[in-house]
Structure 1
Amino acid sequence: MSTSKGKILVVEDMAIQRENLRQILTLEDYTVETAANGLKALDALQNGYTPELVICDIMMPEMDGYQLREAMREMPAWRGIGFIFLSAKASKEDIQAGKSYGVEEYLTKPVEIPALLQAVNVSLRRLQEIREAEKTRNEELFRELFTRVSHEMRTPLSIITGGLSLFELESATSPEIKQYLNYIVNGHDRILALVEKVRHMQEAQNAQVPYVLGVTISVSEIPQIFENIFKKRTFFGRYTEKDVVFNVDLADEDNSLNVNPKEMEMMLEEVLENAIKFSDSTRAITVTGCKTKGNYELCIEDSGKGFPLQAQEDLFKPFFQFQREVQEQQGMGIGLAVVKALAEKNEIKLRMENSDAKHGRFIFSVPIAQS
């Protein structure tokens, strides 16, 4: 079965012409729906049908093509749908009037099949280019925003850090004040961690040199990395109420891995935190590793219910948070995006899958250093 080249809504009051258009476009692997007039087309749109392109006659009963076009332009959700007029109104004035509605193309009846298909193909390609350009522009704006925010926050946070350090050194502080001070410290640490995540993501995405040759870690050092993570106030302080059962079983420990040690720790911390969030009440986290085909596969598996296929694809996107309401998640959803950026910088292949036991697991395929 061929993959659909796009969704098209044909709006035409003449049944024979409507069916001919449907057959022509279907044979070209487009997914086609039809409507007998503008009102029926509008009803389909209002009921959730979202085509990529509308091919519309002008002279129709109940609602003509001009009226349908105007109705679609008034709805922000429909402004990205392409629109082609196909009409018997063929005078120069008619064509100019039709194009004044901001359509992709104005075709006149009877239309030659090659001309129709070319107009459809060009319109869909142009619309795709516009969408990709808008996506790129939005991503650049987001990156610029978070870069500036993280930069502006670092100075006031450093002042707060100094003040908190002085308070923590004050032994005469009452227990009650110390408790409130601890709340402030935890909040401060969370904000600082967020700023650092943004910074690391930007640095990784903008890196000119993916990996510094000669920088390695030994597989035997990985357990110590996890131990360091658990000792961090910013990490362990958030999970004191959870009984985390942590198991590590690493084979081939005499191998060295081509990866920046600090960045490896950052990646493991984010993935470990994610595993704890989505584990069941046992909070059992299993870390395994072994050599395979010139790489070392490091697997972190939680004890949760796994992730749907679509969620597996979305987890590494910035600002995506799986089951945010159910899990009562906090933060902005950029932790795993940082992991992906750092993995790419270090030429590590990263994937997420469900284990045979239906638990979620993250797998790092790290290049082994040549001896």
Structure 2
Amino acid sequence: MGKELILFVEDNTDFRDSAARFLELSDFEVLVASDGLEALRILDETQRIPSVIISDISMPNMNGYQFFEAVRQRPTLKSVPFIFLTALDNREDLKLDWDIGVDEYLVKPFRPEEFLQVIRNRIRRHEELKSLAANQLQSTRDTIVKILSHELRTPLTYVTGGFTLLHDEINREGNTQAPLDRDELQKILQFIRNGTERLNRLAEQTVLLTEITSSENRSTWERLASKLDVSDIVDSAIGKVQEFAEEHQVQIEKQIEPIRIVGVPNLLVVAVTEPLRNAIQFSPHNSTVYIKSYVEQDMAIIEVIDHGRGMAEEDIKTAWDLMGQVEREQQEQQGFGLGLPLTREIVRLHHGEASLKSQKGVGTTVYLRLPIRDTF
């Protein structure tokens, strides 16, 4: 295994050279630069990803803060641990370091062993997070395989059964039974439609869940984020389930405050649509589902409220789990158990929180809390 690569950026020549020699003696490979511009040029030329980037703050041409922002704009370097060196033991300066997202800082002068320990700790933590992300992705893939192997059978039965009936009707030569009337044919077509819609829904949910849970797509979501209004998200979500609500004879009422947030519009529509769809599905006929939005402590709150059958305490604990279906044996048509996990992961991607409260025989309320801020 090769040596860990460190990019060391410092305008003080003596300090830079001595630190580089110390790191090389500690079994690291070191690239050095005198300011942020030179460091960016070195990164472009080498096309290598450092294990750690260490940078002074006060430098000519491009200071540490500017260099940090330039590094974080590069998708391949977003997750690289970044350590600031500073001679300014000032609380406000250090607070700024944390606020912009730097991983660690060291105040000069520092002991060599302290310097080495901070570097090794950051490398180790970075590797742990990479391993965790890889394990989570593999776990998601395993779950998807499980879903595909067990949950495709019902909708496929709808489709194949419907087509078999149509085939028999078309090729009814010699069949003494009376031909199917228009209503019976419509029922068969609806049978097929239900199956294909369930298959399409499963495919869409599966692909989206895989994309969201992959840390590699974080930069893509950041590029797609924009300023938007919660009312637009809610209206789009209602539009997606309106026909479904009419089929279930459920009304949707909204009480929406105009709230500006930053997010990925298509993802947030899905995050609201999934609990809204659940609320409709588990509500009795001729009932009403409510959706509200309001501001609470710098957070945009979206509530989806139903007065359906609700959940028992033990079911609430697993409602957010993949394939966490409630009373599956009584509710065959409920879906694949991906809706609420999708909502939770989308809200987490937006630095928010999803939760619910429910009472058996009373109903369920799902809460989506999204931060009100100017950046993703």
The two structures have a TM-score, normalised by structure 2, of: 0.48
The two structures have a TM-score, normalised by structure 1, of: 0.49
